[in-house]
């Protein structure tokens, strides 16, 4: 940590929005991760651009963080700046059948706003533990719905600090990917278009999906959601289960017995535990079925 760099960030954001040696275990749903050199919580789009310019000028690596729901941070932490676009940038506006949300808005909050406006088409996202910014980057989906079904446009910032809007048809949305991810853009805002619906029917759909999630997913344990991407023609969870790995454990990391597609923090798990378990699961599944599982979880920082 460099005090001069810290002072630059403090001058920009104020001391109450700049943290040093911040434990990332407090900012990921896995509850795992060592300290970040700088942890920054901007409130405005312009501040995000100014932070990025400082980082580029001073050769500081930076990472954009939502609510840390799809992320494993190394035990050694992150030698750079984590820029959290979350609670401070989470405004949601509804106008007709369109909803505009800042990147830090939780998908559950956007789904609630849609429900309250009797708009249908976003029920699938109500239980995904992430922000709309991250969902746009990864084309998040569940229960037959995907972001590409509803996205109208996304406002992003490039590495030079330029802000522009990309219409949905140019986002190249695919399975867990988009032009945003490929180009390394920072999402600032997303606009979705839904349809008028029946409030009671929307409530019932969301209630049903909540019951399905709570009964089938290990929500009582810290995790990063689905650990591996879905291999073409297969389901990762079933391959892992059929390999006899339900309950398989390395340290505090465990393949969930409730849903084998999830690796959970069963208690005191380290990033090394999780990474070792994932590597072992990948190798065993490949040996048995000739299918290579690719991580859906993103890795950040020092794993040595």
Query: Which residues are the active-site residues?
Result: 176, 226, 296
In this structure, are residues 285 and 239 in contact, taking their beta carbons and an 8 Å threshold?
A: yes
Cα dihedral 119, 121, 126, 129 in deg (nearest 10): -130
In this structure, are residues 165 and 154 in contact, taking their beta carbons and an 8 Å threshold?
A: yes
* Tokens standing for residue 78: 């992150």
Q: Which is it for strands 298-300 and 71-73: parallel, antiparallel or unpaired?
A: parallel
Q: Please list, in sequence order, all residues whose beta carbon lies within 8 angstroms of the beta carbon of residue 209, skipping any fewer than 6 positions away.
A: 123, 124, 126, 127, 142, 143
> Residue-wise over 278-289: b if at least 16 C-beta within 10 A, else e?
beebbebbeeee
Judge residue 276's burial from the number of C-beta atoms within 10 Å of its C-beta, 0-12 exposed, 13-18 middle, 19 or more buried.
middle
């Amino acid at each position: 940590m460099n005090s001069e760099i810290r002072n630059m960030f403090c001058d920009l954001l104020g001391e109450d929005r700049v943290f040093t040696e911040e434990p990332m275990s407090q900012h990921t749903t896995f509850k795992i991760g060592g300290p970040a050199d700088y942890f920054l919580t901007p409130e405005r789009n312009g501040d995000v651009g100014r932070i990025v310019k400082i980082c580029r000028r001073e050769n500081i690596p930076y990472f954009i963080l939502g609510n840390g729901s799809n992320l494993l941070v190394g035990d050694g932490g992150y030698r750079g700046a984590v820029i959290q676009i979350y609670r401070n940038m989470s405004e949601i506006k509804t106008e007709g059948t369109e909803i505009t949300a800042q990147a830090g808005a939780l998908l559950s909050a956007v789904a609630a706003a849609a429900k309250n406006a009797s708009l249908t088409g976003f029920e699938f996202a109500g239980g995904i533990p992430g922000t709309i910014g991250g969902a746009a980057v990864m084309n998040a989906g569940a229960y037959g719905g995907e972001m590409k079904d509803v996205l109208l446009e996304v406002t992003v910032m490039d590495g030079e600090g330029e802000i522009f809007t990309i219409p949905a048809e140019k986002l190249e949305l695919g399975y867990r990917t988009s032009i945003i991810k490929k180009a390394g853009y920072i999402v600032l805002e997303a606009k979705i278009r839904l349809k008028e619906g029946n409030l009671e029917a929307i409530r019932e759909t969301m209630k049903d999906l909540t019951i399905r999630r709570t009964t089938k997913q290990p929500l009582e344990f810290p995790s990063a959601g689905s650990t591996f991407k879905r291999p073409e023609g297969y389901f990762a969870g079933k391959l892992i289960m059929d390999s006899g790995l339900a309950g398989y454990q390395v340290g505090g990391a465990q393949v969930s017995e409730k849903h084998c597609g999830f690796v959970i923090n069963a208690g005191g798990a380290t990033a090394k535990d999780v990474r070792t378990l994932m590597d072992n699961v990948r190798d065993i599944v490949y040996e048995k079925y000739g299918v290579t599982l690719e991580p859906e979880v993103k890795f950040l920082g020092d794993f040595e």
